[in-house]
């Protein structure tokens, strides 16, 4: 780091961390425990008054990644005493069969939350299925009614990943008001709801997407960066303002040796593990490079993914409480 960059880093670090010079891992562990505790208390409260929340999960076909995600969600339910029902449908299920299943779950008074694991096969419209879910059982927060509620700042059920990320920020950062937040990616699942939530927390928000010219120079202005793109190692230290805090939502499997060498460094344990298995999970942020400039960076794996599942449990509790009242 040049002397002038070092001086500007010291000056700018005042923003969040008054003097921290080396970047460090932004652990999500405490926030995950906090969310799980809140959910646990919610489950106990509901059990005293009626019964534990009940989540129904629909999964279609044999996609290995989808099965891993669903297994983790069901495990979290059993850890907290949330009742879960898993509905496995075949890869060749028709759209009308799926809509019938959703309708049945909407009408089942014993079910508080409905989650349809995406992606769905090409013959089924994900939009049609999401729109068929009762918005008050929509624990993923993808239904247009909940999207509208979020945009308007009303109460509702909102996407678990960005809400979990907000919980991390609120717990870790002294002040969000007035910060410049840059969200990279504009998906309905992460980018757009993330931007709304940051706006509600009084940040000034810029969204960068695939058609944004000079994304790097915009990102360099951010105090807070949230990256949800699906491009391994896209954001390195050259994108970041010294002292920025960075949330890496991306989860990408890499098999390319050169990329692994760049991201992990040749002498690292991670690179050795990659060379043994031929694959590795990485985020959208070049973690090593980003840590040289940023104050905090969330790790992948073991970062945002855990927040997402903990927040899903809280959404189940919220849905059950709303239905009870
Ligand atoms: P998506 O494919 O729906 O959206 C990607 C977005 O990135 C798009 O809006 C696109 O405009 C933007 N984009 C693409 N290339 C870009 C570029 N070069 N520069 C700037 N923007 C670019 O993806 P998604 O569903 O939002 O997921 C993004 C990543 O987050 C994926 O890796 C996904 O696996 C991961 N994810 C993780 C969790 C979790 O719980 N940790 C949850 C959801 C998604």
Segment 179-234, tens digit of pLDDT? 999 999 999 999 999 999 999 999 999 999 999 999 999 999 999 999 999 999 99
Which atom of ligand 1 is nearest to 209's Cα? Answer: 21
Tell me the C-alpha distance between 230 and 283, whole Å: 8
Active-site residue, 257 included: no
- Is the CB of 189 inside a 6 Å radius of any atom of ligand 1? yes
Tell me the C-alpha distance between 260 and 271, whole Å: 7
| Closest Cα to atom 3 of ligand 1 | 187
Q: How far is the CA of 191 from the centre of ligand 1 (A)?
A: 8
Domain 50-138, architecture per CATH: 3-Layer(aba) Sandwich (3.40)
Whole-number pLDDT of residue 17: 58
**Residue ranges in the chain whose pLDDT is less than 50:** 1-14, 19
Query: Domains of the chain: which residue ranges?
Result: 50-138, 159-307
Whole-number pLDDT of residue 200: 98
CATH number of 159-307: 3.40.50.720
The owner of tokens 């040289």 is: 292
Whole-number pLDDT of residue 16: 62
């Amino acid at each position: 780091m040049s002397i002038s960059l070092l001086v500007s880093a010291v000056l700018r670090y005042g923003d969040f961390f008054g003097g921290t010079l080396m970047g460090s891992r932004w652990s999500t562990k405490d926030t995950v425990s906090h969310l799980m505790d809140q959910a646990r208390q919610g489950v106990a409260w509901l059990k005293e008054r009626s019964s534990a929340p009940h989540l129904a999960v629909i999964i279609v076909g044999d996609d290995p990644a989808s099965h891993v995600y669903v297994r983790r969600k069901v495990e979290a339910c059993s850890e907290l005493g949330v009742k879960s029902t898993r509905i496995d449908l075949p890869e060749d299920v028709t759209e009308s069969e799926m809509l019938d299943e959703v309708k049945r779950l909407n009408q089942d008074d014993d079910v508080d939350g409905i989650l349809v694991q995406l992606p769905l096969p090409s013959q089924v419209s994900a939009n049609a299925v999401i729109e068929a879910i009762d918005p008050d059982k929509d624990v993923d927060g993808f239904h247009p009614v909940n999207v509208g509620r979020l945009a308007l700042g009303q109460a509702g059920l909102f996407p678990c990943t960005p809400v979990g990320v907000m919980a991390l920020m609120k717990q870790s950062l002294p002040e969000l008001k007035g910060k410049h937040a840059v969200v990279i990616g504009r998906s309905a699942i992460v980018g757009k709801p993330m931007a709304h939530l940051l706006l509600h927390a009084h940040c000034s928000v810029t969204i960068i997407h695939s058609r944004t010219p000079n994304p790097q120079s915009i990102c360099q202005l951010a105090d807070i960066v949230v990256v949800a793109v699906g491009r391994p190692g896209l954001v390195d230290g050259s994108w970041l303002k010294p002292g920025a805090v960075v949330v890496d939502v991306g989860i990408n499997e890499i098999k390319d040796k050169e990329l692994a060498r760049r991201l992990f460094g040749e002498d690292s344990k991670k690179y050795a593990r990659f060379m043994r298995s031929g694959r590795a999970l990485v985020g959208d942020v070049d973690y090593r490079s980003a840590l040289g400039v940023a104050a905090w960076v969330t790790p992948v794996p073991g970062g945002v993914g855990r927040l997402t599942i903990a927040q899903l449990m809280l959404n189940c509790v919220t849905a059950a409480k709303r239905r009870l009242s």
